[in-house]
Structure 1
């Protein structure tokens, strides 16, 4: 359950995101598996999985929710192989080349014939509301999956007035300064960065497992490149990669944090609750200090 990515959105208007209200709304749009002719299905599931029937999980004022998407697997190569066989049969029977519209119809028929027998794959997207600070935080490395999550949540709630979190400071300039000089006291450079020439977007240097204070890195910065991604460590507790759009990926909680959630949990539900409580408090402090270094939240 420990989040691995943070996409942070700011609520621009007050909406009812109490656990009771969310529970009622989510329960009306629950997940159900794909039927024979469905390409995909999307819906809400209990964050605790089979350990709970509730579609929300609350701790300390934070409210977690979870979505599941299931989709049919139809490899394009497999579909095209069947289509080409049918096209060949058609042309032999009709003794003429097939028209484009006819081929399109054959492909649609093939897909519909394969759908009921297709395998499926699923994934979960976790997120939580921080009502006090008016934030929605989604655990997704993919912007498309995060957008799909918000689209479904917006349809479920009727309204979801959120915008991506933005800071007053220019993230690329600040991260570049940290590489050129030094990171603030609560942050430490890790061993990875991405540098880009602002005048030539394809001119990118990616460094991994490298000393970021090396002369090689500094030479790229002197040549005009800026940091667009930077691996950092916060208070020896959280490792992460920060992008210039303030998206946080490859989040990793060190053992010192996870040990705080260890206790005499009698079951998985209790352990989940302890993990969630520790995680959200750490993320709150982490985001708070990170925002301070980037000039605070920019509001319209």
Structure 2
């Protein structure tokens, strides 16, 4: 397992909102240690048996939390992330629609502090052994030894389900987020999986736009574990925005072809379709 393990004690920022409340219940049902929630002005209330605090500082002091998952609306998300980073090691930012300059500010600060940020605009992290931080549906995950790292939430769930249907399981599943500016990317997560004793192979789900996959290819060359890659959006025309803010092809850069070529040259096994992923894994494991 990486990032999320049995020692993770998480708070939920924005716990009293509709999304925060709904997903707190799901995270608790998955076995996650949710030890507190934070909504300014709502301190003292409870959500699904979880005590709400006015500030992260209060929550951490009382609960000894070491992680946060953020459901705070986009206009207020930056302040919530800055507050979390002062006290916690891991911050998972589920919120979508955060202005890019806000994300740049908190991600630069996270690098200075050495805090791990996942997201923004991410489905989060899930490990079948211990639970989840975010919105990944646990019913698609089976416990196993394959690490998944992905830019696409929906494809993540579909691929995890494909693995489950083929009796293959997941060690940890990480959605890095689909925005142009994100915290931990493919490179960092691949390195973590490479050192993780619970992970025997890695599935990397990329998409058109940006250069994250090409940068990841440089890391893949030196990994001791096999990587199966898949690139979504092969049929997208140049200049067309596809789903995520980060998935746009500009002037021939960020195409599916360039990414697939880089991955293959790095020694990754590249699947043409997501249904091929389980077959490739069964051949190489």
- Bigger strand fraction: 1
TM norm. shorter chain > 0.5: no
- Greater relative contact order structure (CA < 8 Å, 6+ sep): 1
Sort the TM-score into its range (normalised by shorter chain).
under 0.3
TM-score, normalised with respect to structure 1: 0.24
